[in-house]
Amino acid sequence: MLGSVQGGKISVLVRVQKKAAKFAHHKNSPNWETLSSRRKLSRICGLFDAYSGERAWKPVGDRLERSHYLSRVDHERKIKSSRQRTDIGKYSFVNRTIQHWNQLPAEVLGILPCKPITLKKRVKKVITELN
């Protein structure tokens, strides 16, 4: 029993060391994504799930409203951000992500409905071009 617990700790340590080595090796590589871009991508994909009515995201999607004002450069799927009374609401997942969603070009969100993996590839391409 004791040997298996120590063996488990060692394998976890080896996994962490391999991840650190991979990070150090790819740190200056132009293809390596930053943590902020990966988080932005996952938040936009989560909002897409809410927008398209996925089961787990349905309560969030029901609260999303279409924007009343569209300029020439906006896309037709622009979402209205709600006003918040507290900073907690202002910096919540939905309001932060709505800003990123509204800044996406029309070509990314133009052809909906689509598969989530297709949207993820389009958004990833746009995010990498902006950085």
Q: Which residue has the higher pLDDT, 15 or 67?
A: 15
Confidence of residue 26 (pLDDT cuts 50, 70, 90): low
Distances (CA, A) of 105 to 6, 76, 79, 124: 52, 10, 14, 12
At residue 86, the pLDDT reads 74
The chain-wide mean pLDDT, for the chain, equals 78
48 close to 119: Cβ distance less than 8 angstroms: yes
Q: What is the pLDDT of residues 36-69, one digit of tens each?
A: 888 888 898 888 888 888 778 888 887 888 777 7
pTM: 0.65
For residue 2, what pLDDT is reported? 41
Comparison of pLDDT for 30 and 13, the residue scoring more:
13
Q: Which of 103, 118, 117 is nearest to 40 (CA)?
A: 103
C-alpha dihedral, 16 to 18 to 20 to 23, nearest 10°? -140
Cβ–Cβ < 8 Å for 49, 57: yes
